[in-house]
Structure 1
Amino acid sequence: MSYKKIIPCLDLENALEMAKFYNDAGADEIAYFDSKATKEGREANIAVIKEICKNVDIPLIACGGVRRLEDIKKMLYAGASKVCMKSAALNTPELVTEAADRFGSERIIVTIDLSECKEPVAYAEQLKELGAGELLLLHNNMVPEYMDIVNEIKNRVALPVIVSTYSTNGEAICEMLEKTNAESISLYNLKQMDIMEIKQECRKEGIPVNTFESAVSFDEFKLNSDGLIPCITQHYKTGEVLMMAYMNKESFEKTIATGRMTYYSRSRQELWTKGETSGHFQFLKSLKLDCDKDTLLAEVSQIGAACHTGSPTCFFTDLVKKEYDNTNPLKVFEEEYDIIVDRRNHPKEGSYTNYLFDKGIDKILKKVGEEATEIVIAAKNPDSDEIKYEISDFLYHLMVLMVERGVSWTDITKELADRR
């Protein structure tokens, strides 16, 4: 099913915190508009784009500071899913074609400012010919003419359209989506908005939006004698079990509607949304039902500590424990990477890692090259142990290089995931 996307624009001065908030609060994508880069004629702040992309799961649209193909490349390589340009497309139309050919038209958005463009429909047609994959239509005021122009562009140009509004009113946002039939809407008011609330308003109006909807009715669950169902909550990335609480029908439905974990307190005999008093909210990522339909498993993004004691998890008291190898192969790379970062930041005398950092990039590159060659040689040897050792040596030196150049395993895994 095709959903209408809601895309908040980030406050330039507080972009990272807003990005984290909207990542959990129901936004489909986020837009980072570097207005200073546009006004001052400098390059976009690539470091900010990188930091945002490291901390969010939803796509980022990077806007502002585009003048040449190299700018677009830097933004995309920093993690942006799409790049939006305005003046660059007007001043250098061939840049749109170059970017579409190099990176794919689906990653190139071009802005049409309806308060400046005299022939927006004709310009939209030209942009499609140039290779733009999506259009962002800006305006100063939400007037009937804006709706008419958007509809005409939609009818004449078969490209996805993002409309824009400064409104925070859910009804007005729904009306614009409905009357323009645009694929997305960008929210330019820079105060934090409850996106899930806006989406619930859209659903009431029959506008398809991406919200939670349970595949099984609560009435089909097997409840305990109090009419409740236990819910085990774990972190959606690490898999760590955070807590266990109970839900009734009302708390379950509120969780689905708001995207924030809401439970039923047996002691207080009332609903409680986790984090309402502490700020340690749990934002729902997925909800599963077990085979007997009598237990829920929630995967959440946890803000702060899950336990009222301040512990990250409620399960911190060991009762019995057997010694065993609990090495998680999926975490080894990150843990080793963190050790290398710590060694760079807190040098130790006699450390080989610090020796490499002290010698600089040329020495590190030389070692990476040598270890890669050793893998090739070892691969010709029937002894599998040798290649295991050489690959380990190579990966260590590769991580030193990654730390030196500010590349993380998250950067690599995201890039690989995007290629699937």
Structure 2
Amino acid sequence: MSKAYKKFVPSIYLYQGRAVHSLRDHTVVDDDPLRLAMSYNNGTADELLIFDQSRTDAEHDQAIDMIRSICENVRIPVTGAGHIRRLEDVKKLIYAGCRKAALNFSREDNVELAAEVAARFGRDKIAACCLATDAVLGNQELILKNVSRLYYVDGIDRTPWHKAPRVDGIETIAVLEEISDEDMAVLMNMNGIGGVGGNAVNDRISRILGIKKELEEKHIPVRMRKAAYPWSAFVKNSDGLLPVVVQEAATDQVLMVAYMNEEAYEKTIQTGKMTYWSRSRKELWVKGDTSGHYQYVRSLAGDCDMDTLLARVDQVGAACHTGSHSCFFNEDLADTDPQSHNPGKV
């Protein structure tokens, strides 16, 4: 599959420390933007776009702290946009961990800033948000030289999605409030359109996997999670189950041991959420569906005998039903040498 796959880019609109519905509708959708970002970081979204709607420098500093926290906790690339007045604001976003900083090409001071920030940080670090068609049509040469991506935000000048402005050689992400599934497929198949963002993605986040499958069937390139080994490659126990050792990717701490059947294995790969087979209840269970303490897959690896699976995960909250972060807290034997250390770690 071509690397130029079509992207699904959920968007977070930051306003006064909370996530709101959109640039113009400040209805709160989540008091905790980091929690919202983690819900998008589930293996189906490809990138994340964050709009900072700060009105003061103090609010902006608070927003930068939140963006930094999000960048530290999600695996998908983040683009930061909003409240850019000078080069220093672009620097803050990039140093916070954003893959790109998006200038607002509806502001003349941001248009004038494009060449300077591209020279300083590199064109690949700079995107442009265009809230009106004229912002693109009047700056095509400047965009080609200094910008690596366009985000077209719809609804401002009421340009319909199929007429979203594009510049040859620059991918455009259409940030939309809404679109039908049928029209989304048409849009994703258009030349120059690199993906869809905004509430058109936010409202579909639980269905993105299915939509990607439909697009793939239409030969539209999308990023799909695929495993290297089929279920048949593993050696199962006498019950037809595969033991899974679960390890936290951020700390290397072993969190728990569980079991998978074939359906749990396939669902884990497809959804990016650890799914197991309950031996006591005789049913599938998605870790976190009851508690909210989801485990998002970072990697899966079989052992030398292919009879045990190691799952490295991003753990939300506690892994153990007791409330302990790890199920392994009943210490049986401990090294009493205070100087003992792992020479492989500093």
Q: TM-score range by the shorter chain?
A: 0.7 to 0.9
TM-score (ref. length: structure 2): 0.82
Compared with structure 1, are the counterparts of its residues 10 and 93 closer, same or farther at alpha carbon in structure 2 (3 Å cutoff)?
closer
Deviation per CA, 1:111-164, whole angstroms, max 9, x where unpaired? 223xx33484453344214x12211122229999542455xx35xx21122122
Which residue of structure 1 aligns with residue 262 of structure 2? 249
SS of 1:10's equivalent? strand
Higher strand share: 2
Deviation at 1:89, TM superposition (A): 5.5
Structure 1: tracts of 5 or more residues without a match: 333-420
Which residue of structure 2 aligns with residue 69 of structure 1? 87
Query: How do 1:143-292 and structure 2 match up within 5 A?
Result: 146-150=161-165, 153=166, 157-167=168-178, 172-188=183-199, 193-194=205-206, 195-292=208-305
Which residue of structure 2 aligns with residue 318 of structure 1? 331
**Does residue 1:8 correspond to 2:10, yes or no?**
yes
Selected match of 1:18 from 30, 36, 45: 36
One-letter code aligned to 2:228: A
Compared with structure 1, are the counterparts of its residues 286 and 226 closer, same or farther at alpha carbon in structure 2 (3 Å cutoff)?
same
Whether the 8 Å contact between 1:281 and 1:303 is mirrored in structure 2 is: yes
Which residue of structure 1 aligns with residue 24 of structure 2? none
Could you tell me how far apart the structure 2 residues matched to 1:32 and 1:92 are? 17
One-letter code aligned to 1:309: T
Deviation at 1:100, TM superposition (A): 0.6
Deviation at 1:260, TM superposition (A): 0.8
Compared with structure 1, are the counterparts of its residues 92 and 279 closer, same or farther at alpha carbon in structure 2 (3 Å cutoff)?
closer
Could you tell me how far apart the structure 2 residues matched to 1:161 and 1:327 are? 51
Q: How many residue pairs end up in the alignment?
A: 324
One-letter code aligned to 1:80: C
SS of 2:321's equivalent? coil
One-letter code aligned to 1:257: Q
Could you tell me how far apart the structure 2 residues matched to 1:186 and 1:330 are? 43
Higher helix share: 1
Whether the 8 Å contact between 1:242 and 1:306 is mirrored in structure 2 is: yes
Compared with structure 1, are the counterparts of its residues 330 and 248 closer, same or farther at alpha carbon in structure 2 (3 Å cutoff)?
same
Compared with structure 1, are the counterparts of its residues 329 and 23 closer, same or farther at alpha carbon in structure 2 (3 Å cutoff)?
farther
Compared with structure 1, are the counterparts of its residues 143 and 270 closer, same or farther at alpha carbon in structure 2 (3 Å cutoff)?
farther
Could you tell me how far apart the structure 1 residues matched to 2:267 and 2:59 are? 46
Deviation at 1:205, TM superposition (A): 3.6
Selected match of 2:119 from 90, 95, 101: 101
Which residue of structure 1 aligns with residue 149 of structure 2? 134
SS of 1:51's equivalent? helix
Q: Which has the higher contact order (CA 8 A, sep 6+)?
A: 2
Deviation at 1:7, TM superposition (A): 1.4
SS of 1:183's equivalent? strand
Whether the 8 Å contact between 2:249 and 2:298 is mirrored in structure 1 is: yes
Q: Radius of gyration: which is bigger? A: 1
Compared with structure 1, are the counterparts of its residues 200 and 237 closer, same or farther at alpha carbon in structure 2 (3 Å cutoff)?
farther
Could you tell me how far apart the structure 2 residues matched to 1:91 and 1:142 are? 20
Could you tell me how far apart the structure 2 residues matched to 1:235 and 1:167 are? 37
SS of 1:95's equivalent? helix
Could you tell me how far apart the structure 2 residues matched to 1:118 and 1:142 are? 9
TM-score (ref. length: structure 1): 0.68
Compared with structure 1, are the counterparts of its residues 277 and 180 closer, same or farther at alpha carbon in structure 2 (3 Å cutoff)?
same
